[in-house]
Chains A and B, each alone.
Chain A
Amino acid sequence: MPFGYHGRYLRIDVSRGVGEYVPLDEMVLRQYLGGSGLGVRLLLDEGAPGFDPLSPEAPIVFAFSPLVGSPLTTSAKFAVVSKSPLTERINDSLASSGFAVAGKRCGCDALMIVGRAPELSVVIIDDGDVRLESAVEHRGATCRETESALRSRLGANFRIASIGPAGENLVRYATVSHDGRHAGRGGSGAVLGSKDIKAIALRGTQTTEWAHPRELTELSRSLSKRSFGPATAKYRELGTATNLLTFNRFGALPTRNFQSGSFEEAASLSPEQLTATRSKTRDSCVACTIGCEHIYSLGDGGVRVEYESLFALGSLCGVGDADAVLRASKRCDELGLDTISAGGTIAFAMECVERGWLDEAWLRFGSGDVLLRAIELIGSREGIGNLLAEGSRRAAYAIGHGSIAIAPQVKGLEIPGYEPRALQTMALGFAVGARGADHNRSGAYEVDFSDKVDRRHVTLDAVRHAIETEDKAALMDSLIMCKFLRGVFTDFYAESAEMLRDVTGWDVSADELRETARRIVSARRQFNLLAGWTPAEDTLPERFLNTPLPNDPAASLNRERLDDLVAEYHRQRGHSGAHDAE
């Protein structure tokens, strides 16, 4: 077995409360690395595409990586991979911190959970020994309450991933939370909830060796030093929230359910304004030298502020009251809700009310109180919350009136904070994304914010750039490294190969990693093909294809052009039909 790996995963059947180590072939590890790549490979082997994602037999994988536990900055990450209950397609969401390190120290490269526990339970993995304990007393507890209670009960050296009330109630975009951070998108919290698993608590002592420790230490120092430089200054000094005013200026800030690309109250939500009126602290994930987390004071505590939460709960819902948006973000964290899908679904419902398609007169754009009420109802699935907990696509089909045309989703996943008409390479990335509308598996917005394309009139030349960002993301999510590091690399593939050589001892090259990235993208597509994907899914809602942006008529996209871009994407990927994946 190579260095950096244990060469096995821990398969836990919570129906029986038992776990067993399953060997992993070295070739599989070399081909899929870890994180998202290894996760999807294990799901394919388990037959996951064919299962109802909320059924007992549906597996959910927590995949670590060869770099976890190494001194490389930002490497303490794990991927949660399953079939999404929101999209019915592949879902992989990543989170950072001590859970990854402790999980790998349980002597495995991944955890797989199948089955359904006899009652609400916590899975305890103590250095590889598995047992279930009742978590009934924690029913309804927030993610943070659950972590705190379980640490008191089990010991402070346990690391805990948990779901909130939203996961228990099978909200289709519930998160898995660890240490205040979330594997956020696609509803992995609902998958755990369907198994009656409130939390996973683990600790371990089993470490892996590094092939070339001296070289790895030198490389880690170099990378850390560079991570303090200008390429990460944005994240370190202002956080992702700084996108808000920038995107607003470019007419790319989704507003009132994508009815506009600019928000008149954007300044009140900007970090510049938030900092002027609130105290702020910074935090970082374990083993991270960037420190992108900006935590603003709010009542008796603080709230992590990210651009995606500000946009989804702010401009998208027409709410400019910063206090209300921060409270809404914090409440989503407590309930275990993906802020993007929560905001997207609420904003969609608000527009349906505006158009007279939904009889919930209180649910109007612009009110912080309304936003908070809607979030509570979703978390508990009470009243209209039961419909909104299904996400905007399912809600649209229930509401009717052709509202699917304005449901802000692709493959069921709500669109993040990048207006597709103003950022058209990103529009392509959204349309073809295996996970749905996704800014983490495609970094195509980077192309739009460059001189490589005309962002409002992209041509087929943009496709190769979009593919490059998708491949790079697949590799970063499988190694696993934080994407906020991407600007520090001179040659990403060559430096990644160097990392992997120092950790594993494999004689791996940049070219091999390019091939690995493509293989992982292909595996995710294979999952979707087996789950029933059809070409018609690779598109955007009608709104984006027949209505120019009111604030910027030049930002116009039509079906023919998008279809051409999608076709060219599949041509360059070598996809010839419905059964073409490896």
Chain B
Amino acid sequence: MQVEFFGVPRERAGVSELELQADTLGQMLNALAAKVPSLGPFIGGEGRDLRLHSSFIASLNGDRFVSDPGTPLGQNDRVLILSADAGG
């Protein structure tokens, strides 16, 4: 699966997207924290209950926003991580 970054998450990650292996959103966040340490402070919780910091949100394929760590992910899914505040 692919993870795409926008705005501040992209600044922190230093890349616009990367590939990870994960079956759930929680696993993806765990892998993300390991692979991109600069995002670590924005990923909280423990074990299977990892969540994004409230200033970030995640969208599954641009279709719906997801926060439940148990959200299943497929191999072809794309998770978009962006700033929670869409204002402008």
Contact = CB atoms under 8 A, between A and B. Distances in A.
B82 A230 contact: no
8 shortest interchain CB distances as A-B pairs: A240-B88, A307-B88, A230-B55, A449-B86, A234-B83, A242-B7, A451-B65, A246-B6
Contacts of B53: 230
B77 to A, nearest CB: 15
A246 B8 contact: no
The residue in A233, A235, A272, A446 that gathers the most chain B C-beta atoms within 10 A of its C-beta is A233
Contacts of B8: 230, 233-234, 237-238, 242
A4 B4 CA distance: 48
Interface of A: 230-231, 233-235, 237-238, 240-243, 245-246, 249-251, 272, 306-308, 417, 439, 443, 445-446, 448-451, 454, 483-484, 486-487
A272 B42 contact: no
A272 B87 contact: no
Given A230-B42, A251-B62, A451-B65, A238 B11 contact: yes
Size class of the contact patch on chain B: 20 to 34
Contacts of A233: 8, 55, 83
B66 to A, nearest CB: 7
8 contacts: A230-B53, A233-B83, A243-B7, A245-B7, A445-B87, A483-B87, A486-B87, A487-B85
The residue in A230, A307, A448 that gathers the most chain B C-beta atoms within 10 A of its C-beta is A230
A272 B64 contact: no
B18 to A, nearest CB: 16
Interface string B73-85: 0000000101111
B14 to A, nearest CB: 12
Contact of A246 (B7, B64, B66): B7
Contact of A249 (B6, B11, B66, B85): B6
Contacts of B57: 449-450
Given A230-B55, A443-B87, A445-B86, A245 B65 contact: no
Nearest to B66: A451
Contacts of B85: 231, 234-235, 446, 484, 486-487
A193 B88 CA distance: 28
